[in-house]
Every structure is written in C-alpha cells, then in structure tokens.
Structure 1
Amino acid sequence: MHTNKETPELTTWILWLMTILSGLVVANNYYNQPLLALIAADFRVTESAVSKISVLTQLGYAAGLLFIVPLGDKVHRKRLILIDLAFVVGALLLMAFAKEIWLLFVASFLIGVTSVIPQIFVPMTAELSAPEQKSSNIGLVMSGLLMGILLSRFFSGIVGEYFGWRAMFNIAAGAMLVAWLLVYMYLPEVRPNFVGSYQSLMRSVGKLARSQPRLQLASFRGAMAFGAMSAVFTTLVFHLEEAPFYAGASIVGSFGLVGAVGALAAAFVGRLNKRFTTYQLIYFSLLIVVGSWGFIYFGGATYIGLVLGIVLIDLGLQSSHIMNQTDYFSIPTNATSRLNTVYMVSYFIGGALGTYLAGMAWQFGRWDGVCAVGATFSILAWIAHVVWAKKVTMDVEKGDS
C-alpha cells in the first residue's frame, strides 16, 4: 500500500490527459469497422471474410488485457505505457502497408493486443481518486474512452471514403507518436503494488476471477451488453450498403457521431450515484439497452429508427459500463489493475462473440438475424442483474460483517 507521500496527486491536468489519451488509443480498435467494405473490395474477398478483422482486433484486445494490463500492478506504469505505445505504432504501420489479407489479420490482432493503455489509466484513476470523487473521475476517463470509440468510426469513415482506408492507419500511427511524447513529458509515475513473479501475478488474476462474485456478475453484464453493441456496429456497414440506404463509408462512420450523444450523456451517470443505488442505475441502464432493439429492429429500414436505436444502445451500454466499474472497484483490495483485467477480458470476449455471431447471422438472416443476436445478448445481461445482483450484495455484506 502506498503512503500519501509516495502517491502522486491526481491533478485536473493529469485527469484530462488520461481522458484524452484513452480516447486516442482505444480508437485504434475501431477504425476498421466503417472501412470493412472498402477493404473487402480492395482485396476482393467477401464481407463475412473481412469481418474477421473486427473479431481479431477484439480478441487481440482481450489478450492484451489478460497479459499486459495486470503488469500495471507489478511494474512502473509510465514505463509500461511508453513501451506499449511503441508497439502500437508498429502494429498500425503493418496494417497500413499490408499487401496480403493474412497480414491484415495479424496486424489487426496486434493492434488489439497493444491498444490496452486506457485500461491501465482507469485503475490508475480509481487508485488516485478520493472516495467521493471516484465515480465521477472514472466517468470522465471512460467518457474519453467512449468518445474515442465512437468518434473513431466517424473519422475513419470520412478518411476512408476520400483518402482510402490505408491513410487512416498512417494517421493513427502519427497520433500514437504524439501520445508517446505527451506520456513521456507529463504522466507521473505510480509505484507498483505487487511483489512477486509474473506467474504469481497471473495466478492472482485467476484467484480474483474465482473468488469475487461482485466482479463475476459485473463481468457477465459487461460482456453481454458489449456483445450486443458490437453486433450492431460490425454489421451496420453491410446493412447501410443495401436498399433502401445505399450509403457509403462516411455515412456509416457518422453513426459513431450519433452514438457519441449517448456516450456523453453516460458520462454523467457517476453523479447520479449520490441519488440512486448502483443496483438501480445498472437496472435502468440495461433496460435501455434492451429497449434500443425495438428501434433498431422495427425502425431498421429508416435512418430515424437506426439513429434512435444507436443513441439508446450507447447510452445504456456506457452507463452500465461505468457503474459496473464503480461496483467492482469498491472491492477492498489494491489489485486494481487485476480487477480491471478480469472485467475487461470478459467484456471484450463478449464483444468478439457478439461480432462473430452477428457476422454469421448476417450471412444467414441479414438484419433480422443480427437483431436477434443483439437482443438476446441484451436480455441476458438484464436478467442476470435482476436475478443475482441483490443476492451478491447481501452475500458480500454478510461476509464483511
């Protein structure tokens, strides 16, 4: 445990730096989504084949979360972030210059593995925040991350349509060089809080996953809700290409801008924690995710239906995500990076599963199939919360008493 003397102060500037860099880095995982049709045309492959790029990026992200993020408790975080950023640049350049489809798959996986820095920032924020500011500070950093996810689609759609899909990854590599300089110049060092081998560190991750029911439930809720959103965003590009839309990459990317409305609203959910319980906030957030599919399915042939559905699914997902993190970061332990590892690995496995099943559903059932996958994931998240959340809370309170 750190003493106050050893713990750096979380200034407003440092908090905003982590917020902005979280958005810039996480965006690397999502630039590909509006570009899939362009990539498929360039390499003369099918839409379902090129959708593997999104799946591999999410699986890579899950691998990075599992094997890199726990190191935030063991090694100096600033050094870890600087080394990781150098590898991010290399992976993005490999994507930009790949001439074979299999190289795109490799590059996509590596981009996912290395773009995990925001998940080092989030536990840093939780660790350095005063208890009464924890929810709102996590909400701010998460809003940066979420804006990065959503605006990345908008930006890459425009760049792809006017400059080609490869230009986007060159621009992203340049942005990561700027991020490296900002981290080197301004980010404070946080001392590690785990002493032991890497093997024992990873064993402790497994122990947390097995022994913390609050973390287990948050992980399932997060995985299912993110799987639902991944289903719609991965296949949206194919849906909008067809009748009655016949839309290009820039229109598809603009739905990321639409989703940003929901993400911005979700940034304020931490402030509501003073008036409502965590259970209530997650309950209604997941109910919004379930309800969004009514607009996405029944209004799926209109822009207004899709816009309302995307705003609602993003609002519900990001609100529940912030409250999930507030919930498990309240577990009394200093293993913040490892708690975040368990949750975020589950989260992105859920995203990869949603992406994969939506790709299959599109092939066999088009938009109706995608909606069936997304709605099922959403309902499972909400049911799990309703059935188990109060029981988990009571069991934890009994154990603490």
Structure 2
Amino acid sequence: MSVNVSAPGLSASSLLLMALACGLCAGGNYFNQPLLHSIASHFSVSESAAATSVTLAQVAYAAGLLLLAPLGDKLQRRGLAVSLMLLAALGQALCGLAGQFDLFLLGTLMAGLFSVAAQVLVPMAAALAQPGQSGRAVGWVMSGLLLGILLARSVAGMVSEAWGWQAVYQGAALVMAVVALWLWKALPASRNPSPVSYPQVLRSMWHLLRSQPGLRQRTLVSALAFASVSVLFSTMALQLSSGPLGLDDGQIGLIGLAGAAGALVATQAGRLVDKGLGRVSCAIGALALLLSWPLLWVGGAHLGWFVLGMVVIDLGLQCLNITNQATVAQLLPAARGRMNAVYMTGYFTGAAAGSALGTLAWRINGWQGACALGLALALLACLGTFRMRKTHGLVAA
C-alpha cells in the first residue's frame, strides 16, 4: 500500500515520520498494561493499585488534549509538537528511574499529559495534505498511532522479559527524544495564526461543542467505543496472567500484535471518508465492536478466541475513530486544532472512564464482569452510531 498524500509542505516521508512520532507518543501510555504484574511486584503494591496507572495515563492525556492541544491553532505547530514530545520523553525517563511507586505515577502523569504532541500532529497533517486527501492523511497518521499502541504493549512485554520492565521506559525516553529532534529538522514551520488569547481559545472550544452537532455526536460515539475497548486494555493482563492461561509479560505483549489488523484498515477508513462513504466505515466499526466481546468472553479461557476477539475489537475501534476524526477535521477547517482537541478530549475521557470502570468490574466479578461492562458500552456505541445524522454533506452512519 503506497502513501499517496503529498503537498508542498507534506512529503510522503514527512507523513510517515509524523505517523512514527504519533505512535511513540500514544504508545508510551500503554507500556504499563502488559507489565502490571511486574510493576506491582517491584513496588510491593497490589495489582489493582498498579492498574490505577492505566487510568492515570488516560486522564493525563485527556487533560493535555483539553489544555495543550488547542494551542496548535495559535502557536507554531512544529515547535509545539517537538516541545511536548521532549517533555513526554522526560516523563518516560522518570518512570524508568523511579524508586517509589509515587514517582512512577508522577512520570506516568507527565508522559500522558505531554504525549498530546500526537494530537498536534494529526490536524497538522490534515492541514498540509492536498485538498480531498485530508482523510487519507489522518488515516495514515492515526494508523501510526494505533500501531504504536499495539506495538507498545508487545515490545514492552518482550523487553521486560529480557531486561526488566524499567528498561522499557528508559529506552522509550531515548527514542522519543531522537524522533522529536528529527521532527524539528524534517517538518515545515506551520502556524494557524489566531489573534485571540489562550483563555479565549479554551472558551471557544465550548462554543464549538455547542454549535457543531456533528462534533457532539461523533465525540460521544467514539468516547463510548474507546471506553469499551479500554475495559479490555485495563484488565486483559490481569486475566491472562492469573487466569487459566497463565501467560507471562512477553506472551501477553505478543497477543497485542493481534490487533495490528485494525491499523491496516485505518487508512482505508480515511479513504472512505474522502469518497463520502463514512456510513460504510462506521457501520463496520460499530458491528465489529459489538461482535468482539462474546469472542473475548469465551477467550478468557481459550487463547485462540481471545486473539480473534483482539483483532475484531481493534478493527471496530479504528474504523469508528478514523471515520469520525477525519470527518471532524473537515467540518470547520479554520478551527481544526480545537475541533480535534474537543473530539480527542472526549475520546480519551471515555478511555479513562472505561479503564476505571473496567478495574472496578474486575474487582466485583473478574473477567465475566469486565466483559459484561465492555459489551454494554459497545452496545451504546453501536446504537449511537446508527442514530447519527448527515452533517455538512458528509454521510454519517
């Protein structure tokens, strides 16, 4: 599959570099998921306490989306993205060097907050792409983000088995710093000038949410979808390590690769939006999300079904997310950064809620409780998808 999205300020190599940077930023928030047992043992805390780091990473990311990502409509985007990425690398380094659990949580907070560099790069890619190709550009960059999330879990598990879980964070900090400097050299200076102050930028986001029904609808659906998937992300390591399968960190990490099929589909979802076929992509995503949970329910004791469920759930989430995000990017081009920030704030708020509720469901009724919750959230996302109306000439599901 070739990358056929270019513009005077966005070459194919620059687009792939942006995808790599997004993958590193987003993936850093998922290192802990296959490592919860090891982290809990190292700091002598319960696995439930270690699992709070999953929720913290999502909450921090949502806060960064709300407070930092909108600056992409005001400041020089390249400099903003690079600065945020370097600060995220510092947070990863703190996680890898922490001697106490509180310091590990502080590093998780920093890494999550500043990893919103990814969501400065997404609207930047849409803005620099040629007319009619912004959906493809968003699809490629978000494919990098998804691959980062999937590979982060897998690589984290394998590195942890070889060199210990701290090496995961230490290595990530170094790689992120190098890629951030590479971004500075490779990307063109890009700014969406805004004469308003920072408080006005933040207030305008509330106005956008109220005045753009398409933004509200798509944000809610995607938030519910990611909440459903985050129930899985926050509990899968607990089930796979302590349940009948008894897998170690490396094996749990490898299972994360099963969702790579979703990343391959993500670019096609963006192409469907460019062709006015968002309804198709949304329908596929919603139904796949709903189908995945019965597979995962059975997969708690049967690895083959679990792997299949991982493929289907990642496929469903990415079809919905890419379609909704690419559509939002086209609703109001002059406010792409803020529109994307509103959308992604809701998206990751859903993830944080799903992680917290998933941990609670696990405490109450183990894997069955987590699967029941995930299925209920998927059903709500599916119902919301099929209630969306046509907005701004873009066909919604």
TM beyond 0.5: yes
| AA matched with 2:288 | I
CA-to-aligned-CA distance 1:180-222 (integer Å, 9 cap, x gap): 2201211111023311110111111111112111001111111
Cα pair distance change 1:76/1:364, threshold 3 Å: same
The match for 1:147 is 147
Q: Distance in 1 between matches of 2:49 and 2:17?
A: 38
TM-score normalised to structure 1 length: 0.93
* 1:267–1:319 Cα contact (<8 Å) kept: no
* 1:231–1:370 Cα contact (<8 Å) kept: yes
Q: Which moved more, 1:115-124 or 1:265-274?
A: 265-274
* 2:57–2:112 Cα contact (<8 Å) kept: yes
Q: What aligned pairs does 1:289-308 form with structure 2 within 5 A after superposition? A: 289-308=289-308
- State the 1:273 CA deviation: 4.0
CA-to-aligned-CA distance 1:302-334 (integer Å, 9 cap, x gap): 011101100000001011111001221121341
| AA matched with 1:354 | G
| AA matched with 1:219 | T
Q: Distance in 1 between matches of 2:351 and 2:124?
A: 24
Report the 3-state secondary structure (helix = DSSP H, G, I; strand = E; otherwise coil) of the residue aligned with 1:115.
helix
Cα pair distance change 1:73/1:25, threshold 3 Å: same
Cα pair distance change 1:288/1:348, threshold 3 Å: same
- State the 1:85 CA deviation: 2.3
Cα pair distance change 1:94/1:275, threshold 3 Å: closer
**Is the counterpart of residue 187 in structure 1 residue 197 in structure 2?**
no
Q: Distance in 2 between matches of 1:235 and 1:365?
A: 12
Report the 3-state secondary structure (helix = DSSP H, G, I; strand = E; otherwise coil) of the residue aligned with 2:10.
coil
Report the 3-state secondary structure (helix = DSSP H, G, I; strand = E; otherwise coil) of the residue aligned with 2:94.
helix
The match for 1:174 is 174
Q: What aligned pairs does 1:1-400 form with structure 2 within 5 A after superposition? A: 9-273=9-273, 277-387=277-387, 389-390=388-389, 393=390
| AA matched with 2:240 | L
- State the 1:78 CA deviation: 1.5
Q: Distance in 2 between matches of 1:276 and 1:202?
A: 31
* 1:299–1:305 Cα contact (<8 Å) kept: yes
Q: CA RMSD in A?
A: 1.5
Report the 3-state secondary structure (helix = DSSP H, G, I; strand = E; otherwise coil) of the residue aligned with 2:281.
helix
Report the 3-state secondary structure (helix = DSSP H, G, I; strand = E; otherwise coil) of the residue aligned with 2:334.
coil
- State the 1:270 CA deviation: 2.3
Q: Which moved more, 1:95-104 or 1:259-268?
A: 259-268
| AA matched with 2:192 | P
Q: Distance in 2 between matches of 1:271 and 1:76?
A: 28
* 1:8–1:188 Cα contact (<8 Å) kept: no
- State the 1:73 CA deviation: 0.7
Q: Distance in 2 between matches of 1:91 and 1:365?
A: 34
Cα pair distance change 1:66/1:275, threshold 3 Å: closer
* 1:19–1:145 Cα contact (<8 Å) kept: yes
Report the 3-state secondary structure (helix = DSSP H, G, I; strand = E; otherwise coil) of the residue aligned with 1:15.
helix
- State the 1:66 CA deviation: 0.8
For structure 1, list consecutive stretches of 5 or more residues without a partner in the other structure: 1-6
- State the 1:126 CA deviation: 1.2
Q: Which moved more, 1:232-241 or 1:83-92?
A: 83-92
CA-to-aligned-CA distance 1:65-108 (integer Å, 9 cap, x gap): 11111001101111212221221122112111112212222211
| AA matched with 1:222 | S
The match for 1:4 is none
* 1:14–1:187 Cα contact (<8 Å) kept: yes
Q: Which moved more, 1:41-50 or 1:54-63?
A: 41-50
Q: Which moved more, 1:16-25 or 1:218-227?
A: 16-25
| AA matched with 1:137 | A
| AA matched with 1:67 | L
Q: Distance in 2 between matches of 1:200 and 1:369?
A: 43
* 1:8–1:189 Cα contact (<8 Å) kept: no
Report the 3-state secondary structure (helix = DSSP H, G, I; strand = E; otherwise coil) of the residue aligned with 1:131.
coil
TM-score normalised to structure 2 length: 0.94
Q: Which moved more, 1:312-321 or 1:9-18?
A: 9-18
Q: Distance in 1 between matches of 2:311 and 2:276?
A: 23
| AA matched with 2:17 | L
For structure 2, list consecutive stretches of 5 or more residues without a partner in the other structure: 1-6
Q: Distance in 1 between matches of 2:56 and 2:70?
A: 21
* 2:243–2:300 Cα contact (<8 Å) kept: no
CA-to-aligned-CA distance 1:35-77 (integer Å, 9 cap, x gap): 1110001111111111110100110000111111100110111
